[in-house]
Amino acid sequence: MALEEFEKEEPNNRDKNLIRMRSITNYTMGVFFIAAGFFFMFPNKYSIEFLSKYDSDLMKMFAVICWIYGVFRMFRGYSKNYFKD
């Protein structure tokens, strides 16, 4: 069998469940990191005393990094490219 034939093959039930679980995990982590970015970019009255100890510019950079990584994780969950090399 050639390598191309394996790529066209349907995944079995175990692989489908693994793909679904990894996709859900990526979506969840993506939402978590996007929410963490909002937490650091726009602190509310409860978190302002905790976050006031840190540099404002670094917190905003960290928030942007969290957003980028969250979007990346959600894209990875959407593309479901787990077993393809």
Tokens of 22: 């990894």
Tell me the whole-structure pTM to 2 decimals: 0.77
> Both tokens of residue 28?
């969840």
Q: Which two tokens stand for residue 10?
A: 């349907």
The three-state secondary structure class of 62 is helix
| Domains of the chain, residue spans | 34-78
Q: What is the pLDDT of residues 59-81, one digit of tens each?
A: 999 999 999 999 999 999 998 87
Task: Note the Cα 26 to chain centre separation in Å.
Answer: 5
> Which tokens sit at 69?
């990584």
Model confidence band, residue 26 (pLDDT cutoffs 50, 70, 90): very high
* Predicted pLDDT at 6: 58
